[in-house]
Structure 1
């Protein structure tokens, strides 16, 4: 299972943003379009499939945290939010490990949009 490998799957980040995360001794796996149809589990286990190409939104940023303990996760997110605004964040779970990266990203964007719509109605 992918749970034990501590890493961050990163999509849409600049080289500088990735370097800042890596400076905290965190492995970053940069998601490219040729990895988007792969499951999170395959990506984390580095079982790359060159034939899984699919386009993702260029303007989107996403971070998926895998194998972090609660305290590490809180600290890491706080650190990252110090220099990275916006985007979607998620933690890998036994369920979403079977999802493709593209499917998870679409799901997270949909949730964010739903949340923003709900918040507008409460003002």
Structure 2
């Protein structure tokens, strides 16, 4: 499946103050505010979230994690962006990019996968 060409940051699990600080940094750089992913989007794929598909009612439990998911950023842009937001993000926040594979995963599956990757990395 194709990637979505819009340059966007999807955010999950941030509190209001964290969202405000992040969006302030983004605004100063002329970047759109982050798009917040709520728990009710857990069963939607990342592509559906990027395309603004309406969420279905869902009672699934999503992990209590913080995630910033970057869509359509080139490596150089991404590294500069991460450097600029590192002061306003929680050190435990998971950072990831949308890939040709992950765009087809549900938010719930992506979070589970990223948590497993983080734990495997910590064990090494």
TM-score tier by shorter-chain length is 0.7 to 0.9
8 Å CA contact 1:35, 1:53 repeated in 2: no
Larger RCO (CA under 8 A, 6+ residues apart): 2
Gaps of 5+ in 1: 119-123
Q: 1 CA distance for matches of 2:77 and 2:108?
A: 26
- The answer for the alignment partner of 2:92 in structure 1 is 86
Q: Indicate whether 1:56 and 2:62 are aligned.
A: yes
Question: How many residues are matched?
Answer: 117
Q: Is the 8 A contact 2:14 2:66 kept in 1?
A: yes
- When the two chains are superposed, the root-mean-square deviation of aligned CA atoms in Å is 1.5
Question: 1:97 is matched with which residue: 65, 82, 103?
Answer: 103
1:121 aligned residue: none
SS at match of 1:41: helix
- TM-score, normalised to structure 2, is 0.85
Cα distance in structure 2, aligned partners of 1:12 and 1:90: 14
Partner of 1:117: 123
Q: Does 1:72 align with 2:77?
A: yes
**Structure 2, unaligned stretches of length 5 or more?**
none
Q: Aligned partners of 1:48 and 1:92: how far apart in 2?
A: 20
TM-score by length of 1: 0.85
Distance 1:28 1:91, change over 3 A: same
Distance, in Å, in 2 between the alignment partners of 1:43 and 1:53 is 18
